[in-house]
């Protein structure tokens, strides 16, 4: 039984090359009680923000924040402030995880 909510905070800055693979990895975790918080940190590339918006429509567990560039730490802090659950996982978009990374 998955009663504990885990928040996954993913800062986004010019990562269109990695973002889909990262998000697919997170949404396909075997532990599904996740709150996935994407924070676009003022990306200037062509597609990072569009990809993030696309995934918010695909999965109701995903929330997107868009802010001016301030660095990964500020982006993570925005995500952490929003999250209301018990556990948090900070992830880099270039980090690909196995499907059972998040487990209790």
Give the start-to-end residue ranges of the domains of the chain: 7-90
First to last CA, the chain: 10
Helix axes 48-58, 16-27, angle to 10 degrees: 20
C-alpha angle 22-24-27 in degrees, rounded to nearest 5:
110
**With contact defined as beta carbons under 8 Å apart, do 5 and 35 qualify?**
yes
Q: What is the pLDDT of residues 38-75, one digit of tens each?
A: 999 999 999 999 999 999 999 999 999 999 999 999 99
Task: Name which residue leads in pLDDT, 91 or 16.
Answer: 16
Residues 6+ apart with CB under 8 A from 85: 4, 5, 6, 7, 35
For the 7-90 domain, the top CATH level (class) is alpha beta
What's the pLDDT score for residue 93?
54
Q: What is d(CA 99, CA 25) in angstroms, rounded to the nearest whole number? A: 7
Q: What is the pLDDT of residues 18-32, one digit of tens each?
A: 999 999 999 999 999
DSSP state for residue 21 in the 8-state scheme:
H
Phi, psi for 20 (deg, rounded to 5) = -60, -45
Task: Name which residue leads in pLDDT, 26 or 92.
Answer: 26
């Amino acid at each position: 039984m998955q009663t504990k909510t885990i928040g996954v905070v993913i800062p986004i800055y010019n990562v269109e090359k990695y973002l889909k693979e990262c998000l697919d990895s997170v949404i396909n975790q075997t532990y599904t009680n996740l709150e996935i918080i994407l924070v676009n940190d003022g990306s200037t590339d062509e597609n990072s923000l569009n990809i993030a918006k696309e995934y918010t429509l695909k999965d109701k567990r995903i929330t997107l924040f868009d802010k001016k560039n301030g660095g990964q730490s500020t982006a993570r802090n925005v995500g952490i402030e929003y999250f209301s659950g018990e556990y948090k996982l900070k992830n880099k978009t270039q980090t690909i995880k196995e499907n059972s990374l998040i487990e209790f």
